[in-house]
Amino acid sequence: MAKARILVVEDSKPQADVTKEFLERNAYEVIWARDGAAAIKAAKTMSLDVILLDLVLPDISGNEVCRWLKLNNETKGIPIIMLTVKSSLKDKVASIEAGADEYLPKPYNEVELNAVIYAALRTKALQDELRQRNKQMEELLARVELLAITDPLTGLFNRRHFEVILKQELTERKRYKYDIACLMIDIDHFKRINDSYGHEAGDLVLRDTAQLLKQSMREVDTIARWGGEEFIAVMPRVNRDHAMEPASRMLHAISDKSFDLIPAEKITVSIGIACAEPGRETLETLIGAADSALYEAKRLGRNRVAFAPKEGTSEEAGN
């Protein structure tokens, strides 16, 4: 096992040498700092297990050094044992208030000092273990949370999380009056791919299509797997006039792709687009309009984009 590393902060070299010799006899690695500034630098740049800190230093007081170290996230976990000739209750209270973990008067008893150091190391080990477990728990919870909102096959958001995001976007739209485009996307003749080549090929098409669709969008846009071979996307601050450009990128990205396992097959998608507007400002009405536009794109021959008509018009969907 590695030796515990102890920083001795002492302006008197003879006293530091005595302490250093005692600690090294007890199998500790010892670093010496002559003043407060050197102590702070050592604590910031080195891995330390315990600090033995003199109260009276030539530049800044030991209490100020202690206070700084305990307020710094990188050093606050290092146990600090104050060693000083000042043994009044007032001095001891001041050091404890500054953050010292223990306070021993000089001249110290070597047995007592060794016991205090051992107790500090034991406490630090338990705290380090607790921090590590907390970190592992946070990472586990983050993974669980990600799994709860992610489609396991494509890595996109799942339907439930998409609905949460779309509701938030619609709420923000009411407040800030910006445009929103909703895209419903379906892989054409996907059942034939599964029936002819098997589910492994079908899963490959779903995964690759998901990534191509995502790459065709902006970072502020959100795309999710809606179910089966259907995907859904929301594009904030995109109106009807500007929605065609990303939709066209999606069409070409998919149709130009040569999919592994089925390189001879041409895969295409159909896309329905609806934009939020008066009369179409809820999750249900917006998604329903995009879904209707998708069916219109399929009716018109697939591998195309169709728009939902504006509310209150008899306009036919088209690309």
Mean pLDDT of 281-301: 96
Nearest to 89 by CA among 101, 108, 105, 113: 105
Phi and psi at residue 183, to the nearest 5°: -115, 125
User: What average pLDDT does the segment 128-157 reach?
Assistant: 94
pLDDT for residue 25 is more than 80: yes
Q: How many residues does the chain have?
A: 319
Q: Are 209 and 225 in contact (CB under 8 A)?
A: no
Looking at the chain, list the stretches that DSSP marks H as alpha helix, in order from N- to C-terminal side: 13-25, 36-45, 62-71, 89-98, 110-149, 159-176, 190-197, 199-215, 240-255, 283-299
Residue 208: is its pLDDT beyond 60? Answer: yes
Q: What pLDDT score was predicted for residue 317?
A: 41
Q: Is the pLDDT of residue 80 over 80?
A: yes
- Region 271-292: what's the mean pLDDT? 94
Number of H helices, E strands in the chain: 10, 10
Pairing of strands 230-236, 180-187: antiparallel
User: Please, which residues have CB within 8 angstroms of residue 5's CB and are 6 or more apart in sequence?
Assistant: 28, 29, 30, 31, 46, 47, 48, 49, 50
- Confidence category of residue 2, pLDDT binned at 50, 70, 90: low
pLDDT at 68: 94
Q: Predicted confidence band at 313 (pLDDT cuts at 50, 70, 90)? A: low
pLDDT in the model for residue 316? 43
For the segment 51-66, the average pLDDT, to the nearest whole number, is 94
Query: Which residues lie below 8 Å from residue 286, measured CB to CB, with a gap of 6+?
Result: 166, 170, 180, 182, 274, 276, 280
Note the pLDDT of residue 318. Answer: 42
Residue 149: exposed, middle, or buried by beta-carbon count in 10 A (0-12, 13-18, 19+)?
middle
Residues 149 and 158 sit within 8 Å (Cβ to Cβ): yes
By 3-state DSSP, what share of the chain in percent is helix, strand and coil, each rounded to 5? 50, 20, 30
229-271 pLDDT, tens digit per residue, is 999 999 999 999 999 999 999 999 999 999 999 999 999 999 9
> What number of CA atoms fall less than 13 Å from residue 50's CA on the CB side?
27
Which residues does the annotation mark as catalytic? 229
pLDDT over 80 at 194, yes or no: yes
Give the pLDDT score at 312: 60
Mean pLDDT for the stretch of residues 59-63: 93
What residue ranges define each of the domains in the chain, with the CATH number in brackets?
5-138 (3.40.50.2300), 159-307 (3.30.70.270)
Average pLDDT over all residues of the chain: 93
- Tokens 């097959």 map to which residue? 265
The 10s digit of each residue's pLDDT in 169-185 is 999 999 988 999 999 99
Tokens of 194: 């599964």
